[in-house]
Amino acid sequence: MTTTRKQAAPFARNRLLRDASWQAVHEAMKENPSVYVFGEGAGVKAFYDAPAMLAEFPRRIVTLPICEDGSINFGIGASLLGITPMIDCIAADFLYRCMDSICNTAAKLNFVLGPGRTPSTIVIRAETLLGGPTTGQRPEALFTHIPGVNVVMPSTPHDAYGLMRTALETPGVTLLFEDRMVDDVGFWELEDLKLGESVPFGKATIREGGLRGQPLVLTYGVMRQVVERALLDLPGPRVIDLCSLYPLDWETIRWNLKGGRHNKVLIVEPDVTYGGIGAEIAARLAEEFVGVEIKRLGAPREVIPAASALHARMLPTEEEILRALSPW
């Protein structure tokens, strides 16, 4: 029988994943003098080696007033001057204040300003966590709809480091979501990262399993860990961590479905299922493959409760994942 392991509180988790992305920022700042950090409290954050970063780049880590929309617009203006801004918006919920600046301005810069100009690169970092009705939402699916915007959500320090490296080198707007619900348990310390190694956008990671005929499980963010814990009792299904939500790695997904390798797909996402990442995947699979069975697990389309015990129920559990897989 599956037992749910007691997890660390959100503020005590995700240290390695968070610090890996900040280490990538630090190294990019050393290599590229155009990389700046903007955001609320940017100079006092408890992130990877903050004192060293501040001492080394006192003029390139800029603390801005408490106004997320203002931070985005400040970064947009800086990008027009040749700066590569990494804008720290902290909680992902605050991005709702920035929709116009991101979707109507930043995302269109490289399309409307015409040729003969160096394309802008803008990186926006935000965290998702279980924090109640207004600090627990997951808006990642909203931004996958916007042309000019890349959306990534790593679930390991390796991917957090590599995707941030790629983001800081890729023209356009990239939203990098750090899932604060990811537990550090099972990860190596940061010293084991392959420094300087980027992780490409649009490339998923095959985590485990792959017995022919077994279900294919597509997931991302904290749900990768939940899926892998559930599969300790049910080895065989192949787990694919999407990592990059846009662009999505359709090549890997298709390869696993061709030739009868897998004809059952379970999509497990931490976000609301209605109109989400899983809905897009399910629709495209239904269009391209005949006879593929698809199931989805995710959050209900409800306001997130304030009570932490109820909030935790918004995410699929190990037991629910096992029930979805067992009849197959």
pLDDT of residue 188 exceeding 90, the answer is: no
Distance CA 80, CA 62 (A): 17
The domain boundary, picked from 163, 192, 221, lies at: 192
pLDDT of residue 87 exceeding 90, the answer is: yes
Confidence at residue 171, expressed as pLDDT on a 0 to 100 scale: 96
Residues 31-86: tens digit of each pLDDT: 999 999 999 877 666 577 788 888 899 999 999 998 999 999 999 999 999 999 99
Domain count, the chain: 2
Q: What is the pTM of this model?
A: 0.91
187 plus 212 within the same structural domain:
no
Report the CATH number at residue 285. 3.40.50.920
Under DSSP, the state recorded for 103 is: I
Distance CA 111, CA 95 (A): 22
Q: How confident is the model at residue 7 (pLDDT cuts 50, 70, 90)?
A: very low
Is 199 domain-assigned? no
Q: How confident is the model at residue 320 (pLDDT cuts 50, 70, 90)?
A: very high
Is 197 domain-assigned? no
Is 200 domain-assigned? no
| Whether 267 contacts 325, CB under 8 Å | no
Helical axes 250-257 vs 277-288, angle rounded to 10° = 50
Is 266 domain-assigned? yes
160 plus 255 within the same structural domain:
no
145 plus 210 within the same structural domain:
no
Is 152 domain-assigned? yes
- Region 207-234 average pLDDT: 87
Mean pLDDT of the chain: 88
Residues 11-36: tens digit of each pLDDT: 445 678 888 999 999 999 999 999 99
Q: How confident is the model at residue 236 (pLDDT cuts 50, 70, 90)?
A: confident
144 plus 262 within the same structural domain:
no
- Region 132-144 average pLDDT: 91
Distance CA 36, CA 65 (A): 16
180 plus 308 within the same structural domain:
no
Q: How confident is the model at residue 179 (pLDDT cuts 50, 70, 90)?
A: very high
Distances (CA, A) of 34 to 29, 79, 169: 7, 9, 11
Distance CA 135, CA 129 (A): 7
The domain boundary, picked from 153, 169, 192, lies at: 192
Strand partners, 149: 173
Is 214 domain-assigned? yes
Q: Locate 42 and state its tokens.
A: 């940017």
Q: Locate 80 and state its tokens.
A: 């027009």
Strand partners, 35: 84
149 plus 255 within the same structural domain:
no
267 plus 233 within the same structural domain:
yes
97 plus 210 within the same structural domain:
no
pLDDT of residue 6 exceeding 80, the answer is: no
Query: Given the DSSP bridges, would you call strands 293-299 and 264-272 parallel, antiparallel or unpaired?
Result: parallel
pLDDT of residue 220 exceeding 50, the answer is: yes
38 plus 127 within the same structural domain:
yes
Q: Locate 209 and state its tokens.
A: 């399993």
| Whether 44 contacts 68, CB under 8 Å | no
Q: How confident is the model at residue 180 (pLDDT cuts 50, 70, 90)?
A: confident
pLDDT of residue 310 exceeding 90, the answer is: no
Domain that includes residue 89, residue range: 10-192
Is 170 domain-assigned? yes
Is 3 domain-assigned? no
253 plus 312 within the same structural domain:
yes
144 plus 210 within the same structural domain:
no
104 plus 224 within the same structural domain:
no
Distances (CA, A) of 214 to 234, 241, 243, 249, 257: 10, 17, 22, 20, 11
